[in-house]
Structure 1
Amino acid sequence: MVVTGIRIGEVARRAGVTTKAVRYYESLGLLDPARLANGYRNYGEHDVRLVRQIRELGELGIPAGRSRPFLDCLTAGHGHADDCPASLATYRDAIDELTHRIDELTNRRAALREQLARAAHRGDADSSADTVRQAGAHPAPADDSPTPDGGSAEQLPGTRMPDLPLRDTDGGTVRLDALGAGRTVIYVYPLTGSPRVDLPDGWDTIPGARGCTAEACGFRDHHRELLTAGAAGVFGLSSQHSEYQRELVERLDLPFPMLSDPTHNLARALGLPTFRVDGLRLYERLTLIVHEGLVEHVFHPISAPREHAGQVLSWLRENTLPRNQI
C-alpha cells in the first residue's frame, strides 16, 4: 500500500541522499512518483526504498544508471533487490569490470615501480666497455642471476688508499687518501632497501645480499664504542647515489655519513669484489680499517651483517694503537 504525502526532502533525508539526487534519479526514469491533484509529486515508502537501494549500489561502485535490475526486483515484490537473476548478472559484470581495472592498475604500478627503480639506481649499472675491461668484469647473464665481477679482498692489507674524492650524505666530499692519522672504519655494502623503492628481483636469495639495513643499525648502535675503541671515524659506502643514501641516514638516524661511489671508482682503484644482479653492478660486503692512508685490515666475507659492527669493535679493542698513533 502506497502512503501519500511524503515530500521530496523527507525522501532524501530518509534515504541518505540529497534532493538533487532524487530529482536526478527521476530524470533517469528510476522513480515514477504519483502526482496529486495540484501537480505535486506524491512519494511513498516504496520510493524511499528505491532511492535507498540506488544509494547502496552506488557505494558498491554500481552507478545509478545500472541499478534498474535491482529496482525492478524490488518492484516485483521480492524481499531483496538482488533476489533476481538479472541483479546477480549485474554484480558479475561489475566484478569483471573491476578485475579488468585492477589488472590495468597493477600493470601501471609495475611500470611505475620499474621507472622508479631505474631512476633511483641510475648510474649504478656501470656497464661501459672501458669499465668492464678495467674491472675485469663479465656481462650479466640473460636471466640476471647474481654473478661475480672479479676482484678480491685478499690483496688489500697494506694497500694505499687512492686519491679519490667521494660525495657524502652531509653534502660535502671525502678524500679517501686524506682520512687522517687515526683509524677509519669504512664498511662497504651492496645497497639498502627503501619503503619507496623495491629491491632487485631475487634479492633475498643472493648469499650475503640481505642485511644492509641491519648492518647500518649495528654501526649506529656501536658508534660511540667504536670511537672510544680508537676509530677516528666511521663511513658506510655503496654505489647508490647520495640522495638515496640520505633517506637511509635520516630514517635510521645514523650518526655517521655515507659515501657514494656510483661509478665504482674505488673498485677499480683497489680491485674490490663486485657482483651483478638485475642489471646493477654492486659492491660485495666488506669492511676496511684504514690507518695513515693504508688499508690495515679487511673483513671479508661478512656472513652475519647484523653482528658485524660488534666484530669490528672487538678487533679494535684487541688491536689497540700506541697513543702517538691514535
Structure 2
Amino acid sequence: MRIGEVARRAGVTTKAVRYYESLGLIAPDRLANGYRDYDEHDVRLIGEIRALNRLGIPVERTRPFLDCLTAGRAHADDCPASLAGYREAIDDLSRRIAELTARRAALTAQLRDAAYRNSTACQGETMSDLSVLPAGLPVPEDDGAARHLPGLRLPALELPDTSGGALRLGEPVEGRTVLYVYPLTGRPDADLPQGWEAIPGARGCTAEACDFRDHHQELAEAGAARVFGLSSQDTDYQREVVERLRLPFAMLSDPALELAGALGLPTFEAGGRTLFRRLTLIVRGGVIEHVFHPVFPPDRHARQVLDWLRANPVRPIRKSR
C-alpha cells in the first residue's frame, strides 16, 4: 500500500511515517519503480509507535516493542526488553514529576512571599486590596430570606473553631453572642471566584473581619460577651486569616453548611461551591434575638451591630423581694 493509505489506517501523518522510517523503525519494501510498498505489519508497527508515544515513551525508545512484534509475539510488550522499556519510561516520569513538584513548590513560595509582602492586612491607614471595597459594588436587596430567624433557637451543633477547640452552638451562655456569617475570606496569594464582585453581598469578608476586630472592645462594652465569624472554609484556612488579620476572636468552620440546613439560612453558588450569604445573628440564651440581613456595606457592619447593641441594652433582671 502507498504511504498515504498506511498513514490513514494507522492514524498518523505521512510526515510521521517518513520520520519513523528515517529512524529505521519501519522498513517497507521497494517496488520496481522505486515506490515504497507498506504492508499490514507496517500498519501494526506504526500503530504501536503511536500508542506508546501517547503513553509518554519517546518514538526513539519504541524499538524494543517493535522488535518484539517482529519476532512474532502477539503483543509488543511480551518481551523482557519491552518491560525494561516500561520501567525506563516510568523512571523518567518519576524524575520529571519530582522536578516539577519542586519547581511548583518554589513558585508557590515565591507567590506567597510576594503576595503577603505587599499585603498590609488592613493595618493602620494603609489597607490591602482585599480590605478595601471597590466602588460600585452591587447592593444586596432584602428578599426576606432571613425574616423567619428571630425567635429560633440555635441547633445543637458542635463546630470547630480556630482556637483549637469546638463550640456548641445551642448551649445558652450568659450575655449576648454576635455571630457574623460570611461567604469566604480571600487571601493575598489566591484568586477570588470568577465574577465575585458582581454578586451582591459577596465581596467584603476581609473588610468585615477588620471592622469587627477594630471595634471588638467597644462591642464587648456594649454587651457582646462573645463575637464569632462563621463560614464554610476549613479551620486551617480560617486560622491563617485570624493570624494574618490579628483577630481577637475565633472563627467557626461549617464546611457542610449544617447551620444553613438547620436554620434555613440563605446561600448562593459561586466557583462551583455553595456558600453562606452574609448575615449576622445576635443570640441571647441560645435564641436568635435579632438578625442583620442583608449586610451592606460590610466594612462598616461592626459599627451597625454596635449601634444596635447600644440602642438595645440588656436589662438586668430585678429580683423580687
- Size of the aligned set, in residue pairs, is 182
Can you list the C-alpha shifts for 1:186-229, whole angstroms capped at 9, x where unaligned? 00000010123221111121111111000000000000000000
Alignment of 1:261 onto 2:254:
yes
Structure 1 residue 179 displacement after superposition: 4.6
Alignment of 1:294 onto 2:287:
yes
Matching residue of 1:317: 310
Match of 2:163 among 166, 170, 187: 170
Structure 1 residue 151 displacement after superposition: 9.0
Alignment of 1:236 onto 2:229:
yes
State how far apart, in whole Å, the 2-side matches of 1:179 and 1:152 are: 25
State how far apart, in whole Å, the 1-side matches of 2:185 and 2:144 are: 22
Q: In the superposition, relative to structure 1, how do residues 168 and 179 fare at CA in structure 2: closer, same or farther (>3 Å)?
A: farther
Match of 1:221 among 208, 214, 219: 214
Task: List 4+ stretches of structure 1 deviating above 4 A.
Answer: none
Matching residue of 2:197: 204
SS in structure 1 of the partner of residue 207 of structure 2:
helix
Letter in 2 for 1:310: R
8 Å CA contact retained: 1:186, 1:235: yes
Match of 1:251 among 214, 232, 244: 244
Letter in 1 for 2:247: L
8 Å CA contact retained: 1:237, 1:258: yes
Structure 1 residue 239 displacement after superposition: 0.4
Match of 1:157 among 150, 161, 180: 150
Structure 1 residue 297 displacement after superposition: 0.2
**Normalised by the size of structure 1, how large is the TM-score?**
0.53
Matching residue of 1:134: none
Matching residue of 1:142: none
8 Å CA contact retained: 1:188, 1:237: yes
Structure 1 residue 307 displacement after superposition: 0.6
Q: Identical aligned pairs, as a percentage? A: 64
State how far apart, in whole Å, the 1-side matches of 2:144 and 2:275 are: 12
Structure 1 residue 152 displacement after superposition: 2.2
Can you list the C-alpha shifts for 1:92-140, whole angstroms capped at 9, x where unaligned? xxxxxxxxxxxxx9xx98xx99xxxxxxxxxxxxxxxxxxxxxxxxxxx
Match of 2:187 among 194, 198, 207: 194
Letter in 2 for 1:217: C
State how far apart, in whole Å, the 2-side matches of 1:246 and 1:151 are: 32
State how far apart, in whole Å, the 2-side matches of 1:272 and 1:176 are: 15
Letter in 2 for 1:306: D
What is the 5 A alignment of 1:43-82?
Answer: none
SS in structure 2 of the partner of residue 160 of structure 1:
coil
8 Å CA contact retained: 1:162, 1:176: yes
8 Å CA contact retained: 1:162, 1:177: yes
Letter in 2 for 1:166: L
Match of 1:277 among 260, 270, 276: 270
Structure 1 residue 270 displacement after superposition: 0.3
Letter in 1 for 2:213: R
8 Å CA contact retained: 1:285, 1:300: yes
SS in structure 2 of the partner of residue 323 of structure 1:
coil
State how far apart, in whole Å, the 2-side matches of 1:248 and 1:208 are: 20
State how far apart, in whole Å, the 2-side matches of 1:179 and 1:252 are: 29
Q: Which runs of 5+ in 2 are unaligned?
A: 1-99, 109-142
Letter in 2 for 1:280: R
RMSD of Structure 2 on Structure 1 (CA):
2.3
State how far apart, in whole Å, the 1-side matches of 2:252 and 2:246 are: 16
Matching residue of 1:303: 296
State how far apart, in whole Å, the 2-side matches of 1:294 and 1:213 are: 27
